[in-house]
């Protein structure tokens, strides 16, 4: 297994380490519920250095990226979340696209998908477009929570008040470390993601902890993103599921011209999708888990993609794919049929500031 530059620091902080996407990562420190609350109420700090980073550059890189991702690749200084679709319409990965310059992009991809993404982008790229694996060049920290801006403000002299959501600024000095800082995250809260040189990661992480952030692991990251109904690749997304089925329509731009998977997605619009991602809550005690069957009239019609006991809401929540229109449903929990009610998502929405 691979280790991030923060591995030894995680051990010193008492983290319990687990295997995740080929990396040895901290799943929790003080406990998932406590770390979850720290992010919802104050500020939590995650090591996201396992994520892959691809650099796409050269003449024609902009046009290539417009074809390669379903969303509009955006303007310089912007960050765009986008699925990447195969010709079939299935999702190869869901990524963040940073437009560093006119023909220079940084793609942040899921750790377990990096190699297949690199192969796909490299094979699809035309002459004059360079695709490089730059994952080893940077560490990535995620500072998340309603007080994230306050914590960050204690360790930098650069005002980030004007940094809007899904925008970034490069060359920001944070605790004496040069960083690319973006206002992005995977928790449903305000927050920032900070890229820095690997050799500076331990110092930066420690300084942010000293400024008031609490260390948080993958356990809290998962419960937080599920409350916000953010998809996890391998659970809600895969190569046999389209963005339209996953409810990611707003990240598909049919007006920008051709892109990989466009024809297949247009056919889905014409014929209708056979399944749709839905949020639900059990009507009786019980926690739905990944893989549990969802049934209608005693017949299995879907499976739970993600489920947990929500620390914020104090009740069980889940996501799963279902045929459109079904409402009378149940989930099988330990052999027992538990009725569920379909609810709108996200389950949790942060208060506007």
Residue 353, pLDDT > 70, answer no
Both tokens assigned to 177: 């470390």
Contacts 24+ apart (CB under 8 A), 311-315: 311/32, 311/33, 311/36, 311/37, 311/40, 311/223, 312/36, 312/37, 312/40, 312/227, 312/348, 313/227, 313/347, 313/348, 315/281
- Kindly compute the dihedral angle of the four CA atoms of residues 276, 281, 285, 286, in this order, to the nearest 10 degrees: 40
Residue 36 and residue 156 share a domain: yes
Contact assessment for residue 62 and residue 103, using Cβ atoms and an 8 Å cutoff: yes
Q: What are the CA-CA distances from residue 103 to residues 71, 99, 119, 224 (Å)?
A: 17, 8, 20, 34
134, 166, 182: which is the final residue of a domain? 134
Confidence of residue 352 (pLDDT cuts 50, 70, 90): confident
% of the chain beyond a pLDDT of 90: 95
What range defines the domain where residue 182 resides? 7-49+138-227
CATH number at residue 114: 3.30.70.1400
Residue 14 and residue 157 share a domain: yes
pTM confidence score: 0.96
Contact assessment for residue 160 and residue 143, using Cβ atoms and an 8 Å cutoff: no
Confidence of residue 203 (pLDDT cuts 50, 70, 90): very high
- pLDDT tens sequence across 237-278: 999 999 999 999 999 999 999 999 999 999 999 999 999 999
Q: What are the CA-CA distances from residue 3 to residues 6, 18, 19, 135, 195 (Å)?
A: 8, 11, 10, 13, 17
For the chain, where are the alpha helices, taking DSSP H only? 7-12, 32-41, 61-68, 114-124, 148-153, 201-210, 218-227, 262-271
Residue 56 and residue 45 share a domain: no
- pLDDT tens sequence across 25-79: 999 999 999 999 999 999 999 999 999 999 999 999 999 999 999 999 988 999 9
Question: pLDDT averaged over the chain?
Answer: 96
Specify the number of domains making up the chain: 3
Strand, coil or helix: what is 3?
Answer: coil
């Amino acid at each position: 297994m691979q280790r991030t530059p923060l591995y030894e620091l995680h051990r010193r902080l008492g983290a319990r380490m687990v295997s995740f996407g080929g990396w040895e990562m901290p799943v929790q420190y003080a406990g998932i519920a406590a770390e979850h609350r720290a992010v919802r109420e104050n500020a939590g700090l995650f090591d996201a250095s396992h994520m892959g980073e691809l650099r796409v550059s050269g003449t024609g890189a902009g046009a290539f990226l417009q074809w390669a991702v379903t969303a509009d690749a955006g303007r310089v200084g912007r960050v765009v979340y986008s699925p990447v679709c195969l010709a079939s319409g299935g999702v190869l990965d869901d990524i963040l696209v940073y437009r560093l310059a006119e023909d220079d992009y940084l793609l942040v991809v899921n750790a377990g998908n990096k190699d297949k993404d690199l192969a796909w982008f490299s094979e699809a790229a035309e002459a004059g477009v360079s695709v490089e694996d730059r994952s080893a060049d940077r560490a990535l920290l995620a500072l998340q929570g309603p007080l994230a801006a306050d914590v960050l403000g204690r360790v930098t002299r650069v005002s980030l008040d004007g940094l809007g959501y899904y925008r970034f600024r490069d060359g920001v000095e944070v605790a004496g470390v040069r960083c690319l800082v973006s206002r992005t995250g995977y928790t449903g809260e305000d927050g920032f993601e900070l890229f820095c040189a690997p050799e500076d990661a331990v110092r930066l992480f420690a300084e942010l902890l000293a400024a008031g952030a609490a260390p948080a692991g993958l356990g809290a990251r998962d419960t937080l993103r599920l409350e916000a109904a953010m998809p996890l690749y391998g659970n809600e997304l895969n190569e046999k599921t389209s963005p339209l089925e996953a409810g990611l329509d707003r990240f598909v731009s049919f007006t920008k011209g051709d892109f990989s998977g466009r024809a297949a997605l247009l056919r889905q619009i014409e014929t209708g999708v056979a399944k749709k991602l839905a949020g639900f809550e059990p009507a009786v005690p019980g926690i739905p888990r990944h893989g549990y069957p969802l049934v209608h009239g005693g017949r299995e019609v879907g499976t739970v993609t993600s489920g947990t006991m929500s620390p914020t809401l104090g009740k069980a929540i889940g996501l799963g794919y279902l045929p459109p229109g079904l409402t009378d449903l149940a989930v099988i929990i330990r052999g027992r049929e538990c009725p569920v009610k379909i609810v709108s998502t996200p389950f949790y929405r942060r208060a506007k500031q």
